[in-house]
Amino acid sequence: MSERSMRSPVGTMRRRLLLERPVGTPDGIGGETRGYALVAAVWAQVEWLSGEERWRAGRPEQALSHRISLRWWAGVDAGQRLRDATQVFEIRAVADPDGGRRRLVCLAEEVRP
């Protein structure tokens, strides 16, 4: 990654995404239904990295990897997700590249059926 791409000027963060965390809701029979609760709306830069086709439950799906940069936000972690009206990005890893608490880089996967 180049020095220039590490900086991500605010003007490149043009996508408005919703940051969500997983929550469990009791299902009444001792189990839990997984849902998501809104944490914040954030501006982000989304860059496509790679894609692959794989089979799940006998059906093909596309798995697309993305790098998503946003302003530093405490508590962003793998297992959360970012989404907009048409795409959902499952966060797989989060890093503060320079340790300065200025921005976060998330590696995320978008799955399309």
- The predicted structure's pLDDT at residue 53: 87
6: three-class secondary structure by DSSP: helix
pLDDT of 61 reads 84
List, in sequence order, every residue forming a beta bridge with 52; answer none if it has no partner. Answer: 63
Give residue 5's pLDDT: 47
The domain spans of the chain are 3-112
**Helix (H, G, I), strand (E, B), or coil: what is residue 87?**
coil
pLDDT band per the 50, 70, 90 thresholds, residue 60? confident
Q: Please, how many CA atoms are within 13 Å of residue 88, restricted to the half-sphere of its CB?
A: 11
How far is the C-alpha of 81 from the C-alpha of 11, rounded, in Å? 23
Q: How many Å is the maximal CA-CA distance in the chain?
A: 53
Alpha carbons 84 and 89: distance in angstroms, whole number:
9
What is the DSSP-derived secondary structure letter of residue 113? Answer: -
Is the pLDDT score of 2 beyond 50? no
Cα separation, 72 vs 11, in Å, equals 15
Q: What is the pLDDT of residue 95?
A: 96
pLDDT at 7 over 60: no
Q: Which CATH superfamily is domain 3-112 in?
A: Bacteriophage SPP1 head-tail adaptor protein (2.40.10.270)
Q: How many CB atoms lie within 10 A of CB 73?
A: 14
Q: Higher-confidence residue: 10 or 50?
A: 50
